[in-house]
C-alpha cells in the first residue's frame, strides 16, 4: 500500500454536533423531576427565556417566545403579522428550504431576491430595488450561515417603507444584534452553535407580536380571553427537557465560542496558501459559526471536488445547493429581479469539516487535499 493510500484512510467528518454531556444535563434534569412540570410553559423554559434575553439585550428591552424549533418560529412570526392570505414575502433565493416552507405554511407566497456578492446576504439595498418592482407585504432576510444582518439598516428600511421585517437568524446566535423594528428568529437545533437538540425562539421589541407568537405555540389559545381561540395556532411549545439541554448548552457557551474561534483561526492560517482561489464570506471573521462554507473559485464542477474529497475521507456539503427556485415546490414562485449572484454562489459554495473534535492535523489534511483538487 502506498503512502497516499494510507493517508486516505483518515476520516474527517463534516459535522459533529457539540452537545452537552449527560453529566452536564443531570442537574437540570433533576429540576424537572422536582418540579413535576414537563412542558406547557414550565419553569425551566421561563428561566431559559430570561437567560437568552440577558445574552441578547444590548439596547431596547426585548421580548421572547420559545418554540419547539426555528421553522415553526418563522411560521408563527409571519402569522403574528396578521397579513392577508397569499401575501407576498421577499426572501433570498440562497437559503435553506425551511425559510421558504415557513412562508408557504404561513399562508404567504415567497418572492425570491438576489444576495450581495460578498456577504451572501439579502440586504436592505437589494430589498429596496425589489419592492420598487413588485408588491411585497413582508421581508424575511436571512443571516446566511450565521453572518449577521445589519439590524439598524433593516429598522430604517421598515420605518421608511412600512414593510415588516422578520429576520431568519437561525444560525446567528452569538453574532446577531437585535434592532428596534425588525423581529428575529434563532434556532437551537443540534447543528447550531448553541444547540438544545431542537428548539427556537422569536425575539423583538414589539411585545404584542411576541405575545401572539406565544399564543400561537399553544394552538392559538388566549388565556386572558377566557381560553378562546381567535387565530389558528399549532403545538409549538418547547418542552422542559429541551429547555434543560438549552440551559446546559448556555453553561458551556463561553468555552464553545472560544473553541470555534480557535478553529477558525487555524483554518485561516492553513487556507492562506490557497490565495484568492478560496474566499470566505465577508463579515464573518469574528463570528461564532457551526459550519464553514467557503467560495471555491475553480473551472471544475464542485460535485467532482466533493467526490474527490470524499474519497480522501473528508466530509463536505454543498450548502444551499440547489437554491430555492430550483426545488419543484418553489419553481413557480416569482423573482424580484435577476438572481445572478445567487446562481454563481450556488455553483461555488462548499462546506468543509468544522466541529470541536477537529485537530490542527485534521485541518492541515483537509486544506492539503483541497489544494490537490484545485491544482489538478
Residues 73-90 have pLDDT tens digits of 999 999 999 999 999 999
Side-chain half-sphere exposure of 84, counting CA atoms within 13 A: 5
Report the sign of the C-alpha dihedral through residues 140, 338, 300, 370, in that order.
negative
Question: How far is C-alpha 318 from the geometric centre of its chain's CA atoms?
Answer: 16
* pLDDT higher than threshold 60 for residue 4: no
Q: State residue 63 phi and psi, 5-degree precision.
A: -125, 150
pLDDT for 106 beyond 50:
yes
In the chain the domains, ranked by start, together with CATH numbers, are: 3-14+253-375 (3.90.1150.10), 22-251 (3.40.640.10)
Alpha carbon distance 186, 105 (integer Å): 18
**349-352, strands of its sheet edge to edge:** 278-280, 292-296, 349-352
pLDDT, tens digit, for every residue of 167-188? Answer: 999 999 999 999 999 999 999 9
Residue linked to cell 475553480? 298
pLDDT digits (tens, 9 = 90+) for 133-155: 999 999 999 999 999 999 999 99
Q: What sections of 81-163 are H helices per DSSP?
A: 97-105, 124-133, 151-161
Give the whole-number percent of the chain exceeding pLDDT 90. 93
C-alpha 33/C-alpha 39 separation (Å) is 12
pLDDT of 9 reads 64
Q: Residue 300 and residue 297: Cα distance in Å, rounded?
A: 9
* Per-residue exposure over 48-65, b if at least 16 CB sit within 10 Å of its own CB, e if not: bbeebbeebeeeeebbbb
φ/ψ of residue 166, rounded to 5 = -120, 115
Rounded distance, CA 144 to CA 92, Å? 9
Cα gap 260→254, rounded to integer Å: 10
| Pair 13, 316: CB distance under 8 Å | no
Helices 207-217 + 70-80 axis angle, to 10: 120
- What burial letters (b/e) apply to 262-292, b meaning 16+ CB within 10 Å? ebbebbeebbeebeebbebbebbeebbbbbb
Mean of pLDDT over the chain = 95
Distance CA 68, CA 292 (A): 26
Give the max Cα distance, the chain. 75
In the chain the first and final C-alpha atoms are separated, in Å, by: 23
pLDDT band at 59, cuts 50/70/90?
Answer: confident
List, as one string, the DSSP characters of 341-376. Answer: HHHHHHHHEEEEP-STT--HHHHHHHHHHHHHHHH-
The model's pLDDT over 318-329, given as tens digits with 9 standing for 90+, comes to 999 999 999 999
Kindly list the distances between the CA atom of residue 1 and the CA atoms of 8, 337, 361, in Å, as whole numbers in the listed order: 11, 55, 22
Q: What is the pTM of this model?
A: 0.95
Res 6 pLDDT > 90: no
Reported as a single tens digit per residue, the pLDDT across 324-376 is 999 999 999 999 999 999 999 999 999 999 999 999 999 999 999 999 999 98
Which among 49, 51, 29, 19 is positioned nearest to 237, based on CA atoms? 49
Asked if residue 236 lies in contact with residue 330, where contact means CB atoms within 8 angstroms, the answer is no
What is the dihedral sign for C-alpha 60, 249, 167, 106? negative
Contacts of 361 (CB under 8 A, 6+ apart): none
Amino acid at each position: 500500500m502506498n503512502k497516499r493510500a494510507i493517508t486516505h484512510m483518515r476520516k474527517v467528518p463534516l459535522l459533529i454536533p457539540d452537545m452537552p454531556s449527560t453529566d452536564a444535563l443531570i442537574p437540570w434534569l433533576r429540576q424537572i423531576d422536582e418540579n413535576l412540570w414537563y412542558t406547557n410553559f414550565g419553569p425551566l423554559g421561563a428561566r431559559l427565556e430570561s437567560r437568552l434575553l440577558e445574552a441578547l439585550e444590548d439596547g431596547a428591552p426585548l421580548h421572547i417566545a420559545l418554540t419547539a424549533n426555528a421553522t415553526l418560529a418563522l411560521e408563527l412570526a409571519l402569522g403574528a403579522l396578521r397579513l392577508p392570505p397569499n401575501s407576498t414575502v421577499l426572501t433570498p433565493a440562497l437559503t435553506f428550504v425551511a425559510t421558504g416552507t415557513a412562508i408557504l405554511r404561513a399562508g404567504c407566497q415567497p418572492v425570491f431576491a438576489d444576495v450581495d456578492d460578498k456577504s451572501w446576504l439579502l440586504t436592505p439595498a437589494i430589498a429596496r430595488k425589489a419592492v420598487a418592482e413588485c408588491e411585497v407585504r413582508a421581508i424575511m432576510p436571512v443571516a446566511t450561515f450565521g453572518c449577521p444582518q445589519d439590524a439598524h439598516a433593516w429598522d430604517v428600511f421598515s420605518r421608511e417603507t412600512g414593510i415588516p421585517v422578520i429576520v431568519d437568524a437561525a444560525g446567528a446566535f452569538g453574532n446577531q444584534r437585535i434592532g428596534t423594528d425588525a423581529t428575529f428568529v434563532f434556532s437551537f437545533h443540534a447543528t447550531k452553535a448553541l444547540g438544545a437538540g431542537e428548539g427556537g425562539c422569536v425575539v423583538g421589541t414589539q411585545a404584542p407580536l411576541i405575545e401572539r407568537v406565544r399564543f400561537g405555540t399553544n394552538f392559538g389559545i388566549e388565556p386572558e380571553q377566557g381560553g378562546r381561540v381567535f387565530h389558528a395556532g399549532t403545538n409549538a411549545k418547547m418542552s422542559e427537557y429541551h429547555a434543560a439541554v438549552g440551559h446546559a448548552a448556555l453553561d458551556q457557551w463561553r468555552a464553545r465560542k472560544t473553541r470555534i474561534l480557535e478553529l477558525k483561526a487555524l483554518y485561516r492560517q492553513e487556507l492562506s496558501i490557497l490565495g484568492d482561489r478560496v474566499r470566505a464570506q465577508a463579515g464573518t471573521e469574528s463570528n461564532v459559526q457551526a459550519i464553514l462554507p467557503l467560495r471555491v473559485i475553480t473551472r471544475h464542477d464542485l460535485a467532482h471536488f466533493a467526490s474527490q474529497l470524499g474519497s480522501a475521507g473528508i466530509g463536505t456539503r454543498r450548502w444551499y445547493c440547489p437554491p430555492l427556485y430550483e426545488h419543484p415546490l418553489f419553481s413557480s414562485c416569482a423573482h424580484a429581479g435577476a438572481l445572478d449572484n445567487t446562481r454563481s454562489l450556488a455553483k461555488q459554495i462548499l462546506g468543509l469539516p468544522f466541529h470541536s473534535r477537529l485537530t490542527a492535523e485534521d485541518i492541515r489534511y483537509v486544506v492539503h487535499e483541497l489544494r490537490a483538487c484545485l491544482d489538478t
